[in-house]
A and B are shown apart, each in its own frame.
Chain A
């Protein structure tokens, strides 16, 4: 059995290598690393509101250094037009008048009061810091988690299906029906190849983007979550490949998952937009498991039990579909 598994494993590796699968994974690893380090970290910054003051008589003497003086009302209009989140203060008529472009009601109140407070700054108050991450660490962990989730889903799901459709076309399943090896090994060897490649991808992506010290500390839990996601996606990929007619149909199914299924999960998990129904979304729990692993938050044993149950169930369904396919081919 061991020898049979090893031969099948070697054959699957060779097929993936000839299909430039590994090359593609390395290419995407480089692309994502460049995006995180050169683009995302710089883009994810939100400076406090700029405050522009028009004060020709210089009545505001105790203003904070964060207030920028403008020479005229026209200059203030131009500044506000270019920076719609900024706040204008017009002190030309004695009393200070606040000028802002309309946004969300709560934010408008805060912007106006914040700008006025800068005219007579009080002793600054330092808030207590309760967490351990800096904004950059948080941004790195968040984006790496998103990219890993997206890539695991794509690589496992698409890759395994591409291999399966190719083998279907070549008649490998038919040959396998008469080979003296256990039928399950055919499925297990594929799962093992994708699991291994996903784990290597997860290690490299995490260390390169979260950093060696931060990344290494959470790596064991991340690998466990990666294994869960990788096995699930590979099994779903196998099932789709066994049930669907051709790869074109499969790609369309993939597009649907990538765009319409993943978007609400990312929104709910990463922003303050929370949907009431999101707890019914299976991807949400898997994504939150991965995210909790990155942020070192405790993961419930119920989730692990559910994930293992789901993997076993999926494997049994795939096994059934595979045996049906062998029966059809034979």
Chain B
């Protein structure tokens, strides 16, 4: 208990560490209160036209499909079309019909839209009379923005991992690790002291972030709490592994970088492309995947998936903790035999 007190004291003295744990909370506040980011334009069609070229009716018709921007000169329009970050389709009048122009580097879906736009224009009246049945999709994100909040939560949990890893590595560099070996302390006491600081601050930061971002019922809040606590614990444990296997600061940073990339990239890719089958099992080996999936499920109101993800995270906790204890005990035994 006394050791834990010293660990906490050292963190509280380090204002910079505290600021890092506060950062995800600040981002969550900014996202929540200072206006959301409009991600709806990502998959939309964008049209570029020349001023006074198309009739107002045609522009109104185009605006049904996506935003229309009017440019003063052909050069400005060509620059907008060739701008690599957008997929602007140039639309010009061609007698009673329309003609389109593209940059040629667009994805197939945008090229196809440019090919078919004149045909859509010609049969616009027939299309307006067709009956359209729109179905709701409960389990699919309404917008990509929904992915941002779980990503911030994952970062908040990851801070605990980084903190623990750097804590152990700097102890190794300063020689404190050798002192620890001769202290009257069992491996479990050592693990507890090391894991608790990153875990406590990582989970506190995530809980506050979650409270700001979500308005959950008590039942859902319980599940969210379970997801956060379990995944912060796994993240803190992974920090211990990184600290253990790093020889120096540089290699520690490389491991942290790789783990951070995996932690963020795998859940994001899975959420964006929708992974199924045996690949899901492989993705779940990365602890951030069930956490991310569970948070998304909770925000969509799907309790079953969230419970399943809590289960997967619990297995992660037991497996990683068991492995670390096993490694520590075997080291402890080796040390005793050595003495």
Contact = CB atoms under 8 A, between A and B. Distances in A.
**Do A and B come from the same complex?**
yes
Interface in A136-167: 137-138, 141-142, 154, 158-159, 162, 165-166
A99 B46 CA distance: 24
A273 B84 contact: no
Contact of B85 (A127, A251, A258, A270): A270
A19 B253 CA distance: 12
Interface stretch (B98-106, B220-228, B323-331): B98-106
Given A19-B250, A113-B127, A132-B104, A251 B162 contact: yes
B20 A100 contact: no
Nearest to A24: B254
Contact of B20 (A120, A256, A271): A256
Contacts of A49: 109
B41 interface: yes
Contacts of A112: 127, 130, 132
Contacts, number: 226
A121 interface: yes
A96 interface: yes
Contacts of B66: 106-107, 110
B103 A130 contact: yes
B155 interface: yes
B132 A98 contact: yes
A124 B115 contact: yes
A44 interface: yes
A127 B102 contact: yes
Interface string B149-185: 0000001000100110011011001000000000000
B17 A104 contact: no
A58 interface: no
A37 interface: no
Nearest to A87: B132
Of B116, B130, B166, which is in contact with the most chain A CB atoms at under 10 Å from its CB? B116
B332 interface: no
B60 to A, nearest CB: 12
Contact of A117 (B114, B116, B131): B116
Interface stretch (B134-142, B187-195, B229-237, B305-313): B134-142
B112 to A, nearest CB: 4
Given A109-B65, A142-B84, A272-B87, A46 B109 contact: yes
A213 B103 CA distance: 21
Interface of B: 14, 16-17, 20, 23, 27, 37-46, 64-67, 78, 81-82, 84-87, 89-90, 99-120, 122-124, 126-127, 130-137, 140, 143, 155, 159, 162-163, 166-167, 169-170, 173, 248-251, 253-254, 256-257, 260, 269, 273
Given A253-B16, A272-B42, 9 more contacts: A101-B135, A109-B64, A113-B65, A128-B100, A130-B101, A251-B162, A270-B85, A272-B46, A272-B87
19 contacts: A20-B250, A44-B107, A49-B109, A98-B130, A99-B135, A101-B137, A109-B64, A113-B120, A121-B119, A127-B102, A133-B104, A135-B108, A142-B84, A162-B250, A165-B249, A252-B162, A260-B23, A272-B42, A275-B37
Interface of A: 19-21, 24, 43-49, 80, 84, 95-102, 104, 106-110, 112-114, 116-117, 120-122, 124-135, 137-138, 141-142, 154, 158-159, 162, 165-166, 169, 244-249, 251-256, 258-260, 267-273, 275, 291, 295
